Structure 1
Amino acid sequence: MLSNTVNDNLQENNENSFQEDFNNDIIKFPPELEDSISKILKTNDPIDNSDFNPIEYLNKMLPNEHALASIDETTKRLQHKMRQLEGEIRELTRLQTNGGQQGNEKIEEAKRAIEELFKRIREIKDKATQSEVMVQEITKDIKSLDYAKRHLTISITALKRLQMLVTAVDQLKIMAHMKQYKETSQLLQAVLQLASYFKTYKSIKQIAELSISIVTFQNELKKQIFEDFESSFASDGNLTVQTAPLGDACLVIDIMGQDVKNQLINWYCERQLKEYKRIFRGSDEIASLDNTSRRYAWIKRVLKNFDEEHADIFPLHWNVSEVLCSKFCEITREDLVKTLSRAGNELDVKTLLKNLQLTLEFENQLLKRFAYMERPPQASENSSIKYNFNKSISISFEPYLGLYIDAEDKNIAEMISTYRTEPISDDDNSSVLQSSTELFIYYKETIVNCSKLSTRKPFYDLCNTFAKWLRIYASDVLIGRIPRGNMSRDELKLICLILNTADYCYNTISQLEDKLKEKIEEEYKEKINFDGEREGFLNVVATSIKSLVKGIETCYEPSLTAMTRLPWSNLESVGDQSEYVTSFHSTLRLCIVSVHKDITNNRYFRSFCDKFVESFVSKIINNLSKCKPISEVGAEQMLLDIHALKTFILEMPTMGMENSAPPSTTFTKIVNKGIGKIETILKTILTPHDPPEGLIENYILLIGDKNISNFQKILELKGLKRNEQQQLTEQFQQRAADDTTLLENSNILSSITISQFNTPSLPTAFPALFNPSLSASNTNNLTSLNTGNSNTTDKSAANKFNESVKKIMSGGWRRTDSNKKDEEK
């Protein structure tokens, strides 16, 4: 067994050794070269593979021991194969040697052929050069003839055109001398076109002289036409001859160019406006503002005369009437500036506006006349500048429009003055004051009027004037008319009208601001801002709501007075709600139904209800000090009354409505929070002061602060004597000093003024009722009050209440942190 293992190891070592020797003898090629060789040879012989393994090959040929018997035959086949390969190698070597010699011979033969080709190419090139020289010699004379022909053609053309130019100039002079301007215009156009051809020939003396003569003739022709125009128009601008020759002369001027045409148009306009300058600049009296209408009447007559007699003279695309009006506007504007400056402080707004209105009407007439004027097709190219007559004259009035703004300021001031004392008609069914609608209607009309006069600085000054009087209207007219003190039904209605008016003004101001920005020039738009005025009317709304609350307070004040007259310290038992509660309800319902009907914006009515709850809670808490001393039974009766009042107040948002709905969650929270303060105070008063620990612990549980002044307020309300108060105060100080979770000052007692108890105030605490002296019936009533149902009793609640009383009496109930967190919430 051991010998077999050794033999196997030896055999394996021999094979490995043989494989290594074989691999060392094989010539290694790069992988890319081997791939290329395999593609070229395309053989399936495993020996030709680059990864040929002789051991595997032999094992494949001799798979077992039986194959060893034929090893001699295999050896012979291999030897035959080797001899065959050696023969192939010798043949390939021979062919390669013979092929190299033949290749060298072919290369030499190719070199000789290339040298022969170069020689032939050189010969061909030499012959081509000789041929080119020969052709140039042959065509030399032909080129000269061709150049001569071309120059001769140009010269003949130039001479013909020169002849035409000379002939045209001669004819032009004849036609111009005869004043045949229609033919003159045609010839002049031809002359100018021909003359442009000879611009490059000005170095030639004759051409230069001819060009100078054409320019000189144009000036003479221009002078002649201008003289014809001067002789045809009188000094007052009226035409003295027929229009046909002048119309033909305008055709000549049109060909001469834009500058000459402008000179003629300016001359015509000056001639027509000469009389105007003489009349209106010759005397200060005639040039006064009172005669402004005569200026516009004068130019209208001139335009009418132009349309009837002069329009046929000038080509339509010259727009002579438009230029004439533009120059008239320029002269008139300069005159009005001087006239207005001379007037100075003597200028009154009536005269100013009258003349400004006349000027604006005239400008609008010019805009209508020229905005839709038909123009020929060539007008887009040859027409003069289109003039804009908007504000062309009226701009001279703009620096003096401050008089107009001052006049509007005075008018609005007079309106506001009447509004301060304007009576309110009983027959007026409007929900807002009539003065507010009148004011904004006047604003709207003034905006339209002022925008016609100016949309620049004066218009911006008008915006500031509007803003000023809106502020005054809010502060003086609206807030100034809010009634004070005791109020009747009519006075409450007036407050509602003022509130609705402020709401109307607040919404209308935004529309006013948009309208002003729409009219005013772009540079002033960002300066217009009415946020302050809107804020002023919101302040009117807030003041009106406060006044409504105060007014209703005066209405139910008798009910609170009746509350203070009840013997709260001597009540023996708790009964039904007190009479003052019924009186309060009837008064409240009457007032709230009226206010709800008169306030148009329901959002403000909800705000009024919220403010009323805050005021009512404060009034009741203040009224508690007038009811002292309050016994435990009295406190219990008050709790019953307060619960009834709370029920009435929750009905406020829907009082007088046919389809009443439950109050909103927000309003319910406000009522619960406010009434909860009163209930907390009463529940604290309800607690007996004997033993002291019970009152102190209940105060800490409900009020939740360590403020001695607040604690003394409760003692005062209970009607305790001074020595009792001192003893309880000392024990409260000791108890509060040990509790770090207490607040410094609660706001529950804040409505009770300092003058009454010398106390500050502070947030409602968690409610509880503890009164061990209550009878069973009273306890049941109190329990039903807490559950919101006065007709049922809850025995389990009564049992809980008795247990709580026992804990307080034994001093075993301490205020926990969780209780404090609930109270703070």
Structure 2
Amino acid sequence: MEASRMEESTSGSNGAALGKEAEDLDHIETKNFSATEYLNKLFPNEESLSGLPEFLVKLRRRIRKVNDEILVAVRQQSQTGSRAKEDLAQAQNGIEDLSGRITEIKVKAEQSETKVQEICRDIKKLDYAKRHLTNTITAFRRLSMLMSAIQNLQEVSDKRDYRETANLMEAVNQLASHFESFSQIPKVCELRGQLSAIKSGLRATIFDDFIYATAKEEIPPETLEKLTHACRVVEAIDLHVKDELVSRICNKEMSAYQQIFSTNEAPSTKLEKTDRRYTWMKKLLTRKQPFWDVFPKSWEVSSLLCTSFCKITKAHLSETLDSMRDNPDVANLLKALHWTLDFEKELNLMAGGGEISLYEVVDDGNEDGENEAADEAELTEAEIIKRKYMAARKEREEGGSGQSEPGASQAQKEGAFTGSISSCFEQHLKCYVELEEKSLMETIDNLVNAETWEAEGGENNVISSSVQVFLHIKKSLKRCSLLTKGETLFNLSSSFKRVLQAYSERLISRLPRNTSNKSMNSMATTVSSDWHVKFDDKEEKVVCLIINTAEYCYETVDSLGQSIAKILDKPFSNQIDMSEVEDDYSGVITTALSTLVLGLETRVDQALADMARVNWAALDLVGDQSEYVNVFSSVLADSIPRLGALLDQNNFRFMCDKFTASFIPRYRSTIFKLKMLSDSGTQQLLLDAQAIRTLLLDLPSLGNHGLPPSYSRTVQQEMSKAENLLKVLLSPPDAILSNFLALMPITAAKEMPQILELKGLSKAEQQDVLNEMSRRGLLDEQDTSRLVASGEGSRRMPDIKWGGKFENLKQKMKDSAKGSQALKLKERFQLKGKFNVNLNLGNRN
């Protein structure tokens, strides 16, 4: 009973769910509808199939509803198509009716146009007649006016009334322009001929009036006014007439200039009178100020006159300089060049100043041109003139005046006269460059001879002569840049290179020399003492000052090259290269540092000599560090702090690197120079080597400079070679080969005979070790057959008594020889593929 009730309740719930899902059939119409998923959702289990009949009924009802909707839509669409055909037929009928109306309107418009043309045909003829009649009347009136104007022009031109002539000329030109197309009419040709004759006559009379006026010292005001109107007449005649007039006036003035200064004097005398040329030009512009005001500004008469003057003066000076090529007078040459540059500056200021004319800034107090003041005074005067110009220009700009004309030519622009005369000096300034170079060389000699070789006191800690050298070079550069910025300045830069290279040679010559007077680049050796360089603390300070000075010069040379390149004109600015000079001063630094290293090596050489004099074979006890280590320590403690205070970090690092690279190999070579070592002597040397390693690692702290970790690594690596050598010497005779192979590089195999001699092995023992090395391919047969000693052989050193901490070191070395070192050696030979042997450190193979 209970099961049947549960089944009925389950089927009832399923039926309710099915009915709900069946009512919602709208999503069947979606695009991504899946019938399988939908049915699985409605009938998830067998119990849900009980609602299937009801679902089918509802589905059929929905199908009938959809079919009815489709039928209604088809009927509506059929009715719509019929109405569309009727509307289309009505539209076509309307279009045909509209087309007919348009055609009718077009026909009526053509008929109307024909009627209007018939009505206006006579009116158009009358209009053309009126137009032609008006043009004819106008032409006759203009012809009458032209005839009257030419007649009046003839009358006023005969009277030289240029005011009326200018007005009439402008009117005649305007009237004549209307008859350009009537050139074949006789009357017009006659009038044009009369006008040409009048213009020719005016041209001649105006030219005569201007030439006559230029010959006078004082021109009456009425004449100036007359000439002003004459300029208007000239402009009305033709532009070519204007150019011819200006050219004649310039030639007239310049012919007088050529007569005055074309003399047969000596070239040097002509050059001395260069300033008189410019004074004459200033006087010309000043004296005839009212005359130059006659001309319109657009004519640029002042600029053209100055241009003609510059061309003639350049030709005269070029001829004079060419005649002086073999025997140049540098003083007069530079003086003339200064005068020329100052004059060009004044011309440029005039050209860029708009309304300002040259005569406004002429200094009447110097019109005689005999002022021979210093160049600096002349330049100061030019700067004063320039400030005067700029102040006047500023006032005009603030007042709304001084605007440049739109059609201003290049001669009116500031800088147009630069090099217009001075360019002829360029190829003759070689003597000036030579004089500057000679003067700088003499200055260097004087500075070096007077040098106290003490620090100047600045931040760079350099000698005073280096600062003075660059100061003189800067002054020379400034002097030359005021004269020219072209080839001469470029040639002077080459002189600067030679001067700086000469100074670097003076620095090198001041360095202390070694006993054999050889190059400071030689290395310290244990063979001889020719490389010794002995100097006191004062000389050591001088060497450091030379290093700092060369460093200062190296840095300053680069900035000097950049300054020269900025001043030079192209293409010379791209050709400045100071690398050779920088290399020279870099060489000075290297040589001076090498000298310091050799001096330090010379001092510590006494410690190595003391080391070589000790009888290490007779030493039977191991104590504290040896006396030679104390000597070495005292030398470093005395020199390194002083050098660290005088050198910068980079140079101090270089010195330390070079010192350790030289000293440690010499220390190792000194070990090989010892005759024989006992075990206690070898142990003492090993202790000393560790002390020397510590001293070398303490060099940065002694010099109060921080050095990179690479320095410590280098000291550790190099000192390890000497310590490993001593450890090999401490090995028992039967383990010396294995320890050698474990601690020493393969390249040190040729040192084995010397090691065996230091060890004190007998001749037979030495030969056995060498034969074994030869068998392994480490030595050649010649090395193997070499006799290590003569006589009966060396005696074995007696065993020493190890005490204290050295007993542990001895035991540690024996364990190392029998353990890890043998394994390393075996791996080394197996990796090479050359040997594959079993090593027993207790017995020789």
Would the TM-score normalized by the shorter structure come out above 0.5?
A: yes
Which residue in 2 is equivalent to 1:700? 741
Match of 2:418, SS state, is coil
Which residue in 2 is equivalent to 1:404? 432
Between 672-681 and 715-724, the greater mean CA deviation after superposition: 715-724
Aligned-residue offset at 1:803: 2.8
Counterpart amino acid of residue 728 in structure 2:
T
Which residue in 1 is equivalent to 2:826? 816
Q: Map 1:598-617; keep pairs closer than 5 Å.
A: 598-599=646-647, 601-617=648-664
- 1:529 and 2:582 are equivalent in the alignment: no
Aligned partner (choices 348, 361, 370) of residue 342 of structure 2: 361
Which residue in 2 is equivalent to 1:804? 816
Aligned-residue offset at 1:482: 1.9
The 1-side partners of 2:105 and 2:510 are apart by 124
Aligned identity (percent) is 32
Which residue in 1 is equivalent to 2:471? 441
Aligned-residue offset at 1:700: 0.6
Counterpart amino acid of residue 669 in structure 1:
R
Which residue in 2 is equivalent to 1:682? 726
Decide whether aligned partners of structure 1 residues 645 and 123 sit closer, same or farther in structure 2, where only a CA change above 3 A counts. closer
- 1:268 and 2:316 are equivalent in the alignment: no
After superposition, the C-alpha distances for 1:432-476 in whole angstroms (9 at most, x for unaligned) are: 2333222222221121111222222222212222223333333x2
Match of 1:815, SS state, is helix
Which residue in 1 is equivalent to 2:239? 258
Aligned partner (choices 613, 631, 652) of residue 678 of structure 2: 631
Which residue in 2 is equivalent to 1:288? 270
Match of 1:436, SS state, is helix
- 1:181 and 2:162 are equivalent in the alignment: yes
Which residue in 2 is equivalent to 1:229? 210
Decide whether aligned partners of structure 1 residues 453 and 326 sit closer, same or farther in structure 2, where only a CA change above 3 A counts. same
Between 634-643 and 164-173, the greater mean CA deviation after superposition: 164-173
The 1-side partners of 2:765 and 2:227 are apart by 125
Aligned partner (choices 183, 192, 206) of residue 187 of structure 2: 206
Aligned-residue offset at 1:421: 5.1
Which residue in 2 is equivalent to 1:777? 803
The 2-side partners of 1:641 and 1:586 are apart by 15
After superposition, the C-alpha distances for 1:411-441 in whole angstroms (9 at most, x for unaligned) are: 2333444566554345754622333222222
Match of 2:273, SS state, is helix
Aligned-residue offset at 1:565: 1.8
The 2-side partners of 1:677 and 1:569 are apart by 22
The 2-side partners of 1:211 and 1:484 are apart by 101
- 1:482 and 2:511 are equivalent in the alignment: yes
Decide whether aligned partners of structure 1 residues 729 and 420 sit closer, same or farther in structure 2, where only a CA change above 3 A counts. farther
After superposition, the C-alpha distances for 1:211-264 in whole angstroms (9 at most, x for unaligned) are: 332233222212111111122232x87647742211221222233343222222
Between 717-726 and 167-176, the greater mean CA deviation after superposition: 717-726
- 1:713 and 2:761 are equivalent in the alignment: no
Q: Which structure 2 segments of 5+ residues have no match?
A: 1-52, 58-70, 357-400, 515-533, 781-787, 790-796, 833-845
Which residue in 2 is equivalent to 1:641? 688
The 1-side partners of 2:823 and 2:624 are apart by 33
Aligned partner (choices 620, 632, 643) of residue 667 of structure 2: 620
The 1-side partners of 2:818 and 2:798 are apart by 8
Which residue in 1 is equivalent to 2:284? 302
Contact 2:637–2:702 (CA under 8 A) maintained in structure 1: yes
Q: Map 1:327-338; keep pairs closer than 5 Å.
A: 327-338=308-319
Which residue in 1 is equivalent to 2:550? 502
Match of 1:311, SS state, is helix
Decide whether aligned partners of structure 1 residues 134 and 281 sit closer, same or farther in structure 2, where only a CA change above 3 A counts. same
The 2-side partners of 1:182 and 1:644 are apart by 112
After superposition, the C-alpha distances for 1:311-352 in whole angstroms (9 at most, x for unaligned) are: 332223433222222111110100111111122312222222
- 1:386 and 2:411 are equivalent in the alignment: yes
Aligned partner (choices 432, 444, 447) of residue 462 of structure 2: 432
Q: Map 1:36-55; keep pairs closer than 5 Å.
A: none
Aligned-residue offset at 1:807: 5.8
Which residue in 2 is equivalent to 1:556? 604
Aligned-residue offset at 1:409: 2.3
Contact 2:429–2:488 (CA under 8 A) maintained in structure 1: yes
Contact 1:165–1:195 (CA under 8 A) maintained in structure 2: yes
Between 128-137 and 264-273, the greater mean CA deviation after superposition: 128-137
The 1-side partners of 2:807 and 2:167 are apart by 121
Decide whether aligned partners of structure 1 residues 465 and 335 sit closer, same or farther in structure 2, where only a CA change above 3 A counts. same
Decide whether aligned partners of structure 1 residues 585 and 500 sit closer, same or farther in structure 2, where only a CA change above 3 A counts. same
Counterpart amino acid of residue 163 in structure 2:
K
The 1-side partners of 2:403 and 2:496 are apart by 51
Counterpart amino acid of residue 195 in structure 1:
A
Contact 1:687–1:698 (CA under 8 A) maintained in structure 2: yes
Which residue in 2 is equivalent to 1:344? 325
Contact 1:317–1:379 (CA under 8 A) maintained in structure 2: no
Match of 2:571, SS state, is helix
The 2-side partners of 1:636 and 1:182 are apart by 123
Match of 1:424, SS state, is coil
Decide whether aligned partners of structure 1 residues 801 and 678 sit closer, same or farther in structure 2, where only a CA change above 3 A counts. closer
Match of 2:617, SS state, is coil
The 2-side partners of 1:429 and 1:719 are apart by 60
Which residue in 2 is equivalent to 1:470? 500
Contact 2:454–2:542 (CA under 8 A) maintained in structure 1: no
Contact 1:333–1:392 (CA under 8 A) maintained in structure 2: yes
Which residue in 2 is equivalent to 1:45? none
Which residue in 2 is equivalent to 1:57? none
- 1:546 and 2:594 are equivalent in the alignment: yes
- 1:585 and 2:626 are equivalent in the alignment: no
Q: Map 1:111-150; keep pairs closer than 5 Å.
A: 132-150=113-131
Decide whether aligned partners of structure 1 residues 555 and 357 sit closer, same or farther in structure 2, where only a CA change above 3 A counts. same
Between 198-207 and 130-139, the greater mean CA deviation after superposition: 130-139
After superposition, the C-alpha distances for 1:162-211 in whole angstroms (9 at most, x for unaligned) are: 33333332333332222222222222222212222222232333223323
Decide whether aligned partners of structure 1 residues 379 and 166 sit closer, same or farther in structure 2, where only a CA change above 3 A counts. farther
Counterpart amino acid of residue 804 in structure 1:
S
Which residue in 1 is equivalent to 2:364? none
Contact 1:704–1:820 (CA under 8 A) maintained in structure 2: no
Contact 1:701–1:820 (CA under 8 A) maintained in structure 2: no
Decide whether aligned partners of structure 1 residues 622 and 517 sit closer, same or farther in structure 2, where only a CA change above 3 A counts. same
Contact 1:420–1:481 (CA under 8 A) maintained in structure 2: no
Between 704-713 and 458-467, the greater mean CA deviation after superposition: 704-713
Contact 1:568–1:630 (CA under 8 A) maintained in structure 2: yes
Contact 2:150–2:194 (CA under 8 A) maintained in structure 1: no
Contact 1:772–1:805 (CA under 8 A) maintained in structure 2: no
The 1-side partners of 2:577 and 2:659 are apart by 34
The 2-side partners of 1:356 and 1:613 are apart by 60
Contact 1:185–1:251 (CA under 8 A) maintained in structure 2: yes
Contact 2:227–2:294 (CA under 8 A) maintained in structure 1: yes
Aligned partner (choices 211, 214, 220) of residue 201 of structure 2: 220
Decide whether aligned partners of structure 1 residues 772 and 687 sit closer, same or farther in structure 2, where only a CA change above 3 A counts. farther
The 2-side partners of 1:121 and 1:372 are apart by 76
Counterpart amino acid of residue 641 in structure 1:
D
Decide whether aligned partners of structure 1 residues 439 and 673 sit closer, same or farther in structure 2, where only a CA change above 3 A counts. same
Decide whether aligned partners of structure 1 residues 594 and 743 sit closer, same or farther in structure 2, where only a CA change above 3 A counts. farther
Counterpart amino acid of residue 615 in structure 1:
S
The 1-side partners of 2:119 and 2:219 are apart by 77
Aligned-residue offset at 1:132: 4.8
After superposition, the C-alpha distances for 1:130-159 in whole angstroms (9 at most, x for unaligned) are: 665554333222111011112222222333
The 2-side partners of 1:731 and 1:484 are apart by 49
Match of 2:746, SS state, is coil
The 2-side partners of 1:520 and 1:716 are apart by 71
Contact 1:460–1:524 (CA under 8 A) maintained in structure 2: yes
Match of 2:512, SS state, is coil
- Aligned residue pairs: how many? 674
The 2-side partners of 1:704 and 1:722 are apart by 24
Match of 1:432, SS state, is coil
Aligned partner (choices 697, 706, 720) of residue 650 of structure 1: 697
